[in-house]
């Protein structure tokens, strides 16, 4: 469901199931909005990967694939930036509890790099406990001025 608030701002809100299909949908929406903003192809793909990683975390680690829990996706595009907010209904998450993925003992691990990559692919990254429970992550991609 998309709502147009004014000619200068587009907002979209989606309530998604805790499934991998929802991960795909969120990534597609983010890449589409980045294209509309005028983000170049490489940066669009990187932004899509960042959204994908955060959605996987919400579905798998936050909601644990629970059919009773939803993931809330908000996209907001203005003239110069795209903001994506993802909130799950999980038990919450403390980022400081994560092992450092760049520490020598963690370099060969198969997981643990998603948030590191997400941070690298966006201009602003904020992860915090959501009011009322769960975890919320906010990703911002700015359009580079020519």
In tens, the pLDDT along 25-77 reads 999 999 999 999 999 999 999 999 999 999 999 999 999 999 999 999 999 99
Name the average pLDDT for the chain.
86
Residue with tokens 């602003």: 124
DSSP 80: S
In angstroms and rounded to an integer, the radius of gyration of the C-alpha atoms of the chain is 15
Query: pTM value?
Result: 0.85
In tens, the pLDDT along 122-138 reads 999 999 999 888 999 99
Write out the residue range of the structural domain in which residue 105 sits: 2-142
The CATH number of residue 107's host domain is 3.30.565.10
pLDDT at residue 95, rounded to an integer: 57
Edge-to-edge strands, sheet with 2-6: 2-6, 9-17, 70-77, 81-87, 135-142, 124-129
pLDDT tier for residue 17 given thresholds of 50, 70 and 90: very high
pLDDT at residue 27, rounded to an integer: 98
Q: Is a pLDDT exceeding 70 seen at residue 98? A: no
Residue 117 makes CB contacts below 8 A (sequence gap 6+) with 49, 50, 53
Q: What is the DSSP string of 22-72?
A: HHHHHHHHHHHHHHHHT--HHHHHHHHHHHHHHHHIIIIIISTT-TT-EEE
Output the six-digit token pair for 80. Answer: 């110069």
Q: Is a pLDDT exceeding 50 seen at residue 7? A: no
Cα separation, 47 vs 44, in Å, equals: 5
Tally of domains within the chain: 1
pLDDT at residue 93, rounded to an integer: 67
* 70 or 114: which leads in pLDDT: 70
């Amino acid at each position: 469901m998309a709502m147009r608030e004014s000619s200068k701002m587009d907002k979209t809100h989606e309530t998604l199931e805790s499934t991998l299909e929802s991960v795909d949908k969120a990534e597609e929406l983010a890449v589409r909005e980045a294209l509309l903003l005028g983000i170049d192809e490489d940066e669009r793909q990187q932004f899509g990967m960042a959204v994908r990683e955060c959605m996987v975390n919400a579905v798998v680690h936050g909601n644990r694939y629970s059919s009773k829990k939803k993931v809330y996706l908000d996209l907001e595009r203005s003239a110069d930036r795209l903001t994506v907010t993802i909130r799950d209904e999980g038990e919450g998450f403390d980022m400081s509890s994560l092992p450092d993925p760049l520490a020598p003992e963690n370099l060969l691990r198969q997981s643990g790099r998603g948030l590191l990559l997400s941070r690298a692919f966006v201009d602003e990254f904020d992860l915090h406990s959501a009011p009322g429970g769960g975890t919320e992550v906010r990703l911002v991609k700015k359009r580079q001025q020519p």
